[in-house]
Amino acid sequence: MKNLLICGGGGFIGHNCVEYFANKGGYNITATYFREENYTPVTGVKYVQVDLRDEEQVQYLVQGQNIIVQAAATTTGSKDVIERPYLHVTDNAVMNSWIFREALLNDVEHLIFFSCTVMYQPKNTPQKESDWSASDEIYGNYFGVGSTKVYLENMCDFYSRLGNTKFTAIRHSNVYGPHDKFDLDKCHVLPAFVNKIINSTKTLDVWGDGSAKRDIVFIDDLIDMVDKIIEKQDSKYELYNCGAGKAYSIKELANIIMEVNNKNLDIQYDLSKPNIPTVLILDCDKAKHELGWEPTTKVVDGIKRTSEWYKQTYLNKNDN
C-alpha cells in the first residue's frame, strides 16, 4: 500500500479527503491537524499534530510519503478578505514552501495543491485555466491571496522540473458541504446562509445587494477530481479548474437554501457591510477531457446534504 499524507486533515477539505480515501482503502493515511479543537478522527488514520510553518516538523513529516494532498491553509471569510487580507498571505506562503521543497527532496511521487480562483478577472462567461495571465490586475480585495496562490502554482511547476515528483494545482471555486466552517465571522457565504436561515424565524441579513455571483462546487466533486488526478495524471505538472461551470447569485443561493429548509424569510440587504461584487464562472473542459471528470452533484442536493449535516452536528449539540 502507498503512504498518503493529507495535510490539513482537521479542516474542511482535508477531513473530507481523509474520510474518502480511508473508505476507499489501499492507502496508509497520515493526516495532520493544527489545533486540538479541530481534530475529528477517522478510524484507521494516523493523526499528527504539526505546525506546517516549521521547517523541521515538515522535514520529519514528509519522510516516507508517496502522495501528498496539501489541504492545509489559513482561510477565513469575506470580512477578513476586506479588513485583514494579510491573513491569507504569509502563513500560506511559508507552509507551502517547506512542503513543496521536502516533497522534491524526499522523491515523493505526487503532490496535489489546492489553489483558488480569485486571480481571475470578473467575467460573465466561463474562464479556462489559460484565460488568466500575469498581466491581468487581480481584483483589489483579492490581490494578496490571489498573488500568493499564483506564486505557489508557479512553485509547483518549478519543483516539478527539478526531480521526479509530479505536481498538480487545482483552482477550485467556492467549495461547500459537510464539515465546513459555519462560524459567521470565519465562513464563506453559503455556509453562512445555512447557519442564518436554519436559525432564523423572520429575517435574513445579506451583505451587499445580493447581485454578486459565485461558481460553487460540492466537496464530493472536488475530492473525486483529486482521486482522478492521482490515478490518471502522467505529466509532471498540471493546473485544473474545478467548479460547477455555472454562477449563482447571492440572492439565488439564499432562496435555494430557504426552499430546502422550508423557510420563508424576509431578505434584508445591508449595503454597509463588506461585499465583494464579482462574477466568476469556471470552464472545466480540461479536466473533463484529460481526467474524465465533471461535477455530478446538483446544487439542491448538495445544499440539502450540507443543511442536514449542519442540523445534525450543531442543533443536536445545542439540544443536549
Q: What is the pLDDT along the chain (320 residues), one digit of tens a residue?
A: 999 999 999 999 999 999 999 999 999 999 999 987 667 899 999 999 999 999 999 999 999 999 999 999 876 555 555 566 666 688 899 999 999 999 999 999 999 999 999 899 888 899 999 999 888 888 777 788 889 999 999 999 999 999 999 999 999 999 999 999 888 777 788 999 999 999 988 889 887 777 888 899 999 999 999 999 999 999 999 999 999 999 998 889 999 999 999 998 998 887 776 566 678 899 999 999 999 999 999 999 999 999 999 999 988 665 54
Domain that holds residue 9: 2-180+215-245+281-297
- Which amino acid, residue 231? E
Cell (9 digits) for 199: 436559525
pLDDT reported for residue 317? 61
Q: If residue 269 lies in a helix (H) or strand (E), which one and from where to where? A: strand 266-270
What are the residues whose beta carbons fall under 8 Å from the beta carbon of 160, sequence distance 6 or more? 166, 167, 236, 237
- Domain contains 259: no
Point out which residues pair with 47 in neighbouring strands: 31
User: Is residue 229 situated within a structural domain?
Assistant: yes
pLDDT at 99: 98
Q: How many whole angstroms separate alpha carbon 130 and alpha carbon 151? A: 16
- Cα-based distances in Å from 204 to 99, 193, 257, 264: 42, 8, 11, 9
Amino acid identity, residue 93? A
In this structure, is residue 122 part of a structural domain? yes
DSSP code for 43: T
Number of domains in the chain: 1
Q: What CATH number did the domain enclosing 134 receive? A: 3.40.50.720
Specify if 97 maps to a domain.
Answer: yes
Kindly state whether residue 81 falls inside one of the protein's structural domains: yes
**pLDDT on residue 211:** 80
What pLDDT is attached to residue 290? 98
Is position 197 within any domain? no
Specify the pLDDT at position 245: 93
Closest C-alpha among 181, 194, 242, 170 to residue 16: 181
